[in-house]
Structures are given as C-alpha cells and as structure tokens.
Amino acid sequence: MDKDKWNQILLLGAATLGFIGLLHYRKSQNARKAIRRTTSQVRQIEKLEKILNEQKAIEHDIQRGVRAPKMLPPPEGKVFLNPLLGTGVKQDINSGRAFLPESVFNKVGGYLVADNVFSIDPASAGGSILLVKGSPRMEIVMNPKNVKAAIVTCGGLCPGLNVVIREIVMSLHFNYDTTEIYGIWNGYSGFYTEGFIKKLTPHDVVDIHTLGGTILKTSRGGWNLEKIADCIEERGFNQIYVIGGDGTHRGINALVEEMERRNLPVFIAGIPKTIDNDIPIIDKSFGFDTSVEEAQRAIDSANIEANSAEYGVGLVKLMGRNSGFIAMQASIANRNVNVCLIPESEYELSGPNGVYNYILERLKVKKHAVVVVAEGAAVSCKDEKLVMPGTDASGNPILYDIGKHLRDGIVKYCKEHGMNITLKYIDPTYMIRTVPANSGDKVLCATLAQAAVHGTFAGFTGFSVGCVAGTPCFIPIDLMISTREGKNSLPGQRRVDLEGNYMWWRLMASTGQPSFINEVKELN
C-alpha cells in the first residue's frame, strides 16, 4: 500500500474519532445541562419548601398562641434569594446597596412572646401570645423587578410621615432593586382621582426626612373600596403601603379581603400613625415623642405667663381625642403642671372639690397655676354636659372646645369669688403635629418602614408593623383593630389605664391634684 493511501486512511480515522469525540462531548454537555437544570429545580424546590416551611410552622404553631398575618403563595410559583443576603455588612458604593450576613435574617419559628402586652390572660387564650418577628427573610416570594408598589398617607398629620415615606422608597429601591414605586396623593381618594398617582425615585425623597407634614398630601375620608380596588387592579399594583391610624387600618383590612375576593396577589402593609399613641399592642406610635417634646414648649410658655402676673393662670390645650397620653406625658416631663385633665379621668368643674375651686384656692396660696387639658376631656366632665352635634369627614364626633370652656369658666368663677386673675390660653394643638420628627422618632420611622418592606417580600399581607417589647413585629391587622387596651376602650383603641398605668400615678404625684369629685365613696 502506497504512502498516499495510508495518509487517507489515517485522515479518515482521525475524522471518525473526532466525530465520535464531538458526539460524546455534546452528549456529556447535554447531561451536564440536564444536571444543572435538575439541580436548579431542586434548589428552587428547596427554597420553596423553606418559604412554605414558615407558613407550615405558623399554621402548626397557632395552637401555641401564634398570631400571624395572612401569607400569600409566590405569584410566579417560585421564590427568590433576598438581594440583601451577603457575606458581611458591606456596601456597593456605586449602587448604594447594602448586604447583610445570614445571621440577621429571620429563622423559621422566630416569634416574640408578647404575653405582657395584652390585657387578656394568656392562660385563657390557650397559652402564650406569640407574634411574628419583623426581620428580613433569606427567601422572598416576589421578583423585585416585577414589583409595582404604591404608598399612601391617610388621616391627620404626624411628625415622621416623610421619614416613613422616604425609607419605604429607599428600602424598595436600594435593598430590593425595585424601581416601580408610586406615591398616591391626598389619601385614599388619590387612588381614583386623575393625576394623583405619581412615580417616586430616591431623588424625590432624599431630603424629605428633615420636613414636617407629608409630601404625598393627606386627607380624611375618601374611602371607596370599589374604586380603590379597581385602581389597584387596573394599574397592576402588587404592593401597597398605607400609613394611617385605626380607621385607616380598618380600611386596609377591608381592602385585603377585597383583593382576596378578586383573587389578586396584592401584598398590603400598614404603618400605624397617631400622635395620640392610642393604637394598641405596639410600644408606641411614631411621632408621639416628638409631639410630647413640642408640647412642653407650650407648657413652658404657660408657666412663664402664670409666674409673671399676680394671680396668673396658664392654660394649655393639647391633642388627645379619646386618650390623654400626650397631656399626661408632657405634664410629667414638664414638672410645672398643677392640673391635668384627660378623657379617661372623670372630674367635676364646680363644687368645693371641683376644678374651679381647686385653682382658686391654689391662687390664694401660690399666686399662680398651670393647667393642661386634652382636647377630648369634655366627655369626662360629670357635672356639665359638654357635647357638640355632628361628625367630621372621618366619622368622628365633633369635639366640644373644652379649652375655651375652661378659659371662660376659670375667669368667671374666680371673679365671682372676689379674685381678678390674668389667664393666658395657649392652643398649640396643630403646631405639635407639624414639626419634623426628632432623632428618636426618625429611627423608629426607619425601622417600621423597612420592616413593612421586608414583610411584603416575605409573603405577608394584611399586617401592620410595630415595635413590641422593643422588637419589630408583623401584627395581623384584624388583631390590631379588635384589641382593646384600657378601661372603656373601643376595639382597636388604647386608653390610659388609671389603675394599671403607673404613669398616671406619677402624674398625680407630680401635680398634687385631687380627684376633682365632690362625692368620694369611702373604702370599706
């Protein structure tokens, strides 16, 4: 056989071997891809099992006393790794994103024992009362790129509103890579009012935490379940953040039920807002400390006025429709208040043991007096019927102006008893709610806003966020709006407990005031 034929045979053999090798390579590559696909599917299943494990654990632990919000399944049928998960606390300078170590994330079964928070006996409830902790989860149920979020503020103003708005936007954008974020202007009515839905970016909110009020505007009323739900469905919103008080939270509860009825995977979170601090379960509401701090300025002014005149009286009316936390706390902190009237404590104006006579007798001896009254204290007056007809846009009864009533009544009573007094009436009611949040409230606002975002991505809906015993928690809204705290409180309301709240007795010790009841029953 000549040399050329040998070369042809060798070339043909090499080609055959190469072809066989190529087929083997492709087969092995396909096998590897199949393995990778299988591994990926297994990992997705494992992640899904982990996310479902929390739901399973909660369902199992209900008998132990767990009070958990509703959980929705992943809208896309799979779960995602939390973008916050990293090897340590570090930051990407270019994007502004932060990363957290695994130890920061919530573990399945991570509950807070909240027995001391509730007035009900845990034993009668079948065991301890457990709340779900409000920390981030390693696996989330939504693809951040497919999230379309809406933020709305409802009801009256409160220090810290802009901080909450800012931190929701910042957390969505930088922590979860979500860019479709919208502000709803003018409260609930903004959902169905033309031109009242506007996109928000970090640039829009970067400095608003230094301002009072809310950049989104707010209003009372405007509740229309059908129109709001239609807007959410038509616009494709799948995360809703609602900042408001007890009435607003009742609206959230109805909205959650409507989304469930329409079979829409919409995750809704509430952030409780009231300077009155009258929302139950949580340690305190944001803006309360700032309002108390600002209220003291008015009391200081009243004290100076009272001490700068012969028979001088400084009278201050503070916010507190149904509860007297602001008036009580500000009076204790100020230390110069002689009389403090709140809605929870009954009193009489006339008679030898009444408020008027007590002030008169004090003026005879001390030459001055400082009086603080909560705006809702008219309802606790026993000897005069102080009421006003009608309701406001939120359905709340219109309050009788107890401040002006006391102003005129004190002057008249003293004059009838031969004393001409100088009374200065200070009403900072709306001033104390419009100031920027102080540093403590800013930290609280940021904590609550970030917890709300963590909660929606974790799959919870129909929950509100609040610190309970110092720990952020996801509180079911139906639990929040049904819990009563304090005597004669309504569902979803906290009032000063005159018997169990030591702050009330601290107030009594600070002011030295009596009961202001003319007929006191003697104890047996």
Q: Where are the domains of the chain?
A: 90-285+437-482, 288-435+501-511
User: Could you give the 3-state DSSP secondary structure of residue 381?
Assistant: strand
Per-residue DSSP letters for 7-44? Answer: HHHHHHHHHHHHHHHHHHHHHHHHHHHHHHHHHHHHHH
What are the b/e assignments for 272-310, b being 16+ CB within 10 Å? bbbbbbbbbbbebbbbbbbbbbbbbbbbeebbebbeeee
Can you tell me the distance from the alpha carbon of 377 to that of 370, in angstroms, rounded to the nearest whole number? Answer: 17
Please state the rounded mean pLDDT for residues 88-110.
65
- Higher-pLDDT residue of 90 and 343 is 343
- Say which amino acid occupies 249: H
- Domain 90-285+437-482 in CATH 3.40.50.450? The answer is yes
User: Could you give the 3-state DSSP secondary structure of residue 197?
Assistant: strand
Give pLDDT tens digits for 219-273. 888 899 999 999 999 999 999 999 999 999 999 999 999 999 999 999 999 999 9
What does the pLDDT read at residue 499? 85
Q: For helices 439-457 and 161-170, what crossing angle results, to 10°?
A: 40
Say which range, 82-91, 187-196, 503-512, has the weakest mean pLDDT: 82-91
Annotated active-site residue in 61, 230, 276, 401:
276
Using the predicted structure, report yes or no on whether residue 2 has a pLDDT greater than 70: no
Can you tell me the distance from the alpha carbon of 519 to that of 354, in angstroms, rounded to the nearest whole number? Answer: 10
Residues with Cβ within 8 Å of 30's Cβ and at least 6 positions away in sequence, in order, are none
Q: Which two structure tokens, joined as six digits, stand for 24?
A: 């083997």
Q: State percent of the chain over pLDDT 90.
A: 69
**pLDDT-derived band at 46, boundaries 50, 70, 90:** low
Can you tell me the distance from the alpha carbon of 146 to that of 133, in angstroms, rounded to the nearest whole number? Answer: 26
Angle at 478 between CA 477 and CA 482, to 5 degrees: 115
Tell me the range of 86-100, 180-194, 484-498 where mean pLDDT is highest: 180-194
Q: How many CB atoms lie within 10 A of CB 314?
A: 29
Name residue, tokens 């209220």: 295
Question: Which residue stretches of 344-438 are H helix?
Answer: 355-366, 402-416
**pLDDT-derived band at 27, boundaries 50, 70, 90:** low
Please state the rounded mean pLDDT for residues 129-152.
93
**pLDDT-derived band at 398, boundaries 50, 70, 90:** confident
Can you tell me the distance from the alpha carbon of 256 to that of 266, in angstroms, rounded to the nearest whole number? Answer: 8
What does the pLDDT read at residue 65? 83
320 sits in the region (left: phi over 0; alpha: psi -120 to 50; else beta) called left
Can you tell me the distance from the alpha carbon of 47 to that of 214, in angstroms, rounded to the nearest whole number? Answer: 39
Using the predicted structure, report yes or no on whether residue 198 has a pLDDT greater than 70: yes
Say which range, 28-32, 37-41, 372-376, 448-452, has the weakest mean pLDDT: 37-41
Can you tell me the distance from the alpha carbon of 172 to that of 389, in angstroms, rounded to the nearest whole number? Answer: 45
Average pLDDT of the residues of the chain: 87
What does the pLDDT read at residue 111? 84
Handedness of CA 455, 215, 434, 163 (dihedral sign): positive
Using the predicted structure, report yes or no on whether residue 194 has a pLDDT greater than 90: yes
Name residue, tokens 């340690």: 283
Using the predicted structure, report yes or no on whether residue 345 has a pLDDT greater than 60: yes
For domain 288-435+501-511, the CATH architecture is 3-Layer(aba) Sandwich (3.40)
What does the pLDDT read at residue 523? 44
What does the pLDDT read at residue 521? 53
Please state the rounded mean pLDDT for residues 90-105.
64
Say which range, 15-19, 180-184, 411-415, has the weakest mean pLDDT: 15-19
Longest dimension (CA), the chain: 144
In contact, 253 and 246? CB cutoff 8 Å:
no
The two domains 90-285+437-482 and 288-435+501-511 share their CATH topology (first three levels equal): yes
Question: Which residue stretches of 75-184 are H helix?
Answer: 161-170
What does the pLDDT read at residue 335? 94
Please state the rounded mean pLDDT for residues 106-112.
77
In contact, 361 and 391? CB cutoff 8 Å:
no
What does the pLDDT read at residue 128? 74
Give pLDDT tens digits for 407-447. 999 999 999 999 999 999 999 988 999 999 999 999 999 99
Please state the rounded mean pLDDT for residues 450-473.
96
Q: Which DSSP letter does residue 74 get?
A: P
Can you tell me the distance from the alpha carbon of 238 to that of 80, in angstroms, rounded to the nearest whole number? Answer: 16
Please state the rounded mean pLDDT for residues 84-106.
65
Q: Is 408 a catalytic residue?
A: no
**pLDDT-derived band at 33, boundaries 50, 70, 90:** very low
What does the pLDDT read at residue 90? 53
Give pLDDT tens digits for 158-179. 999 999 999 999 999 999 999 9
- Say which amino acid occupies 370: V
In contact, 382 and 409? CB cutoff 8 Å:
no
Name residue, tokens 């991505």: 457
What does the pLDDT read at residue 37? 41
Using the predicted structure, report yes or no on whether residue 471 has a pLDDT greater than 90: yes
**pLDDT-derived band at 121, boundaries 50, 70, 90:** very low
Half-sphere exposure of 251 (CA within 13 A, CB side): 30
In contact, 457 and 106? CB cutoff 8 Å:
no
Residues facing residue 71 across a β-bridge: 460
What does the pLDDT read at residue 524? 44
What does the pLDDT read at residue 18? 60
Please state the rounded mean pLDDT for residues 73-100.
72
